Structure 1
């Protein structure tokens, strides 16, 4: 029996290769002779630059940048060739880097993302791919722009503070001191096109620690920031697909740096030969941290299922949690989904034992599949 195992990573727990390895181990408990093609997938979040570096024969460059709460963090980016760089915004401003006691997306910053871009420029990059995903911020990319020399000013021509809340006072974007090397540098942001600036605070703010009142304030700040960006570039970016990626980073990069916002799977899956590998499988297994109402909106399990169905392949999705609206995933081509928890456990315990839980859940699920096949 041939299996294609094509998962995403589990946020703050396991990266995609580790998820794929755990699922493969679970399969072998049931089918020791199975042919398993492990295809760990990235979506612009954690691990994307490293995956591209492996696929393209590039190199990883470690650096220290400003983290999302203003403290130095160890980060990295990839040089894919002499003039092309790739970076994960999550390596500088990801949710994983925000201590739980400090999870307020109105106060966190993407400043370190701008520093990563600057480091890439120092290495000679003139084409920079920015992976947008797994963010712990909602500052519209303002911090990244400040790190590159821009200033966000209030009505008195004074700099506003850092973080999304401060954008409620923004009146003008001053790019007169922007890094001059950006003029002849192509910036490409790999985004989820379903994420819009108009709704980013409401949809993702609570996931990053915002209360209902904080979401309301952030939504107003994002709307004001959209007006500032429109005054600078002449376009209303709010309905632009991907403008809300990574807490509005997509809008900031597009409005100030003329970045191209490209659907992430168009950018990140080319090197995997995914369609041909799915076509060879008898069963496709994908996975992500959660299956819920957002799954059909640009998530990896939905993308895998859609492609697998072009070849008539059955698809099972495993998830850390099954959330509201999970049944909408069926419309993407997922035939069945299952949570990996067999009993209630604390979140910290589930994160620590995620690999074991995945192995066990894969075994249970596959045994059920084989029972069903035997009954035909």
Structure 2
């Protein structure tokens, strides 16, 4: 029997490779003769670089860059894969919300400049392909900060460079392209369909999560709309109405306009990187999971991507999650054999997060006992 373990991270408690190893060890206790293959997963957001390093022969290249605020410097870096000449830049490492205290969160001031510095560093390192993972951002600057780090100039009516951050967007009157800028293929890993502007856009949906009050949201919305107009007029590029362009506070839009980037599915990219289709073709079971298995899991998340290829290969699926909020009838329609929760109703979330290793191991042992050893 062959079991492939391909889980996402358990947010706030376990990285994806840690979750995979816990499940593998627990299954090994009950079924030592079973072939177990570990494939750490990610959806193109936080944790993507590390998951891909674990899946292939990659290494981490460290760089000091600007943090989410112009006055901050952070130790960040990118994943490097020599054979593929590919770099994975995870924007959360340079421009992420988790780098800020609550009192520092202000998308009028936060910038993607440091992410642009990482892209530049990857280019200088020799990357022929850059995968840009855009989850966990602290910014709503339309990718202008990242573009500025690559040499683009964004000028106001007096010919001066605008201030970094989302608050400067409404003052852009001219965009100046850098001379001699040569970039490799840049793929923005994204599984949301939010546009840059509007009721489902970057400012209104994600601005409040990044510290914006109602007044700030309207200013950011106005700035992003103005940016889209200037880009359309001066560069002939449409970014305002593209599905996914609003990801990471509009960094996806900026990558399209200023880096010739394309938006691709993060889940599918990591699945392909892991060669998961071939692994599942010869597997009896695939075990996947995440912190909470709910309705969102069924749309553009790691587990939904795995369900899709498992159906094609007729591989049985087990979901091990912190919480299971999808009914058996619904998940069985998707080809899932079983879904097991680590956290019982009587346990608090705080307890579950602190004891996630033991609880996940217990769930994996229950799965092995009920489905593998019977």
Query: Which of the five TM-score ranges fits, normalised by the shorter chain?
Result: 0.7 to 0.9
CA shift, 1:17, in A, is 0.8
| Match among 255, 268, 285 for residue 287 of structure 2 | 285
CA, structure 1 residues 67+233, in 2 after alignment: closer, same or farther (shift >3 Å)? Answer: same
Mapped contact 2:3–2:35 kept (Cα < 8 A): yes
Mapped contact 1:111–1:146 kept (Cα < 8 A): yes
Return the TM-score normalized by structure 1: 0.82
CA, structure 1 residues 94+221, in 2 after alignment: closer, same or farther (shift >3 Å)? Answer: same
CA shift, 1:301, in A, is 0.6
Mapped contact 1:233–1:256 kept (Cα < 8 A): no
CA shift, 1:327, in A, is 9.0
Mapped contact 1:321–1:339 kept (Cα < 8 A): yes
* Residues 148-175 of structure 1: CA deviation (Å, up to 9, x unaligned): 22233445544433333443x2433523
Partner of 1:42: 42
Counterparts of 1:41 and 1:74 in 2: how far apart (Å)? 24
Partner of 1:97: 99
Comparing 7-16 with 307-316, which one deviates more in the overlay?
A: 7-16
- Give the gaps of 5 or more residues in structure 1: none
Counterparts of 1:321 and 1:136 in 2: how far apart (Å)? 27
* Residues 114-137 of structure 1: CA deviation (Å, up to 9, x unaligned): 110121233233533322223333
Counterparts of 1:13 and 1:303 in 2: how far apart (Å)? 22
Runs of 4+ in 1 over 6 A off after TM superposition: 323-331
Partner of 1:314: 316
Mapped contact 2:59–2:79 kept (Cα < 8 A): yes
| SS at structure 2 position matched to 1:160 | coil
Comparing 66-75 with 191-200, which one deviates more in the overlay?
A: 191-200
Mapped contact 2:39–2:55 kept (Cα < 8 A): no
CA shift, 1:29, in A, is 4.8
Q: Equivalent residues in 2 for 1:209-228 (5 A)?
A: 209-210=211-212, 214-228=216-230
CA, structure 1 residues 125+33, in 2 after alignment: closer, same or farther (shift >3 Å)? Answer: closer
Mapped contact 2:17–2:54 kept (Cα < 8 A): no
Mapped contact 2:154–2:161 kept (Cα < 8 A): yes
| SS at structure 2 position matched to 1:241 | coil
CA, structure 1 residues 252+18, in 2 after alignment: closer, same or farther (shift >3 Å)? Answer: same
* Residues 222-273 of structure 1: CA deviation (Å, up to 9, x unaligned): 3333223323332322332331222211100101122122222443332322
| Match among 136, 141, 148 for residue 143 of structure 2 | 141
CA shift, 1:308, in A, is 0.5
CA, structure 1 residues 166+148, in 2 after alignment: closer, same or farther (shift >3 Å)? Answer: same
Return the TM-score normalized by structure 2: 0.82
CA shift, 1:299, in A, is 1.0
Partner of 2:24: 24
Partner of 2:82: 81
Counterparts of 2:327 and 2:68 in 1: how far apart (Å)? 31
Q: Equivalent residues in 2 for 1:235-314 (5 A)?
A: 235-314=237-316
| SS at structure 2 position matched to 1:130 | strand
Q: Equivalent residues in 2 for 1:43-62 (5 A)?
A: 43-53=43-53, 57-62=57-62
Q: Equivalent residues in 2 for 1:338-353 (5 A)?
A: 338-342=340-344, 343-345=346-348, 347=350, 350-353=352-355
Comparing 123-132 with 16-25, which one deviates more in the overlay?
A: 123-132
| SS at structure 1 position matched to 2:165 | coil
Q: Is 1:185 paired with 2:194?
A: no
CA, structure 1 residues 340+4, in 2 after alignment: closer, same or farther (shift >3 Å)? Answer: same
Mapped contact 1:292–1:326 kept (Cα < 8 A): no
Counterparts of 2:146 and 2:189 in 1: how far apart (Å)? 16
- Give the gaps of 5 or more residues in structure 2: none
Mapped contact 1:279–1:311 kept (Cα < 8 A): yes
CA, structure 1 residues 4+125, in 2 after alignment: closer, same or farther (shift >3 Å)? Answer: closer
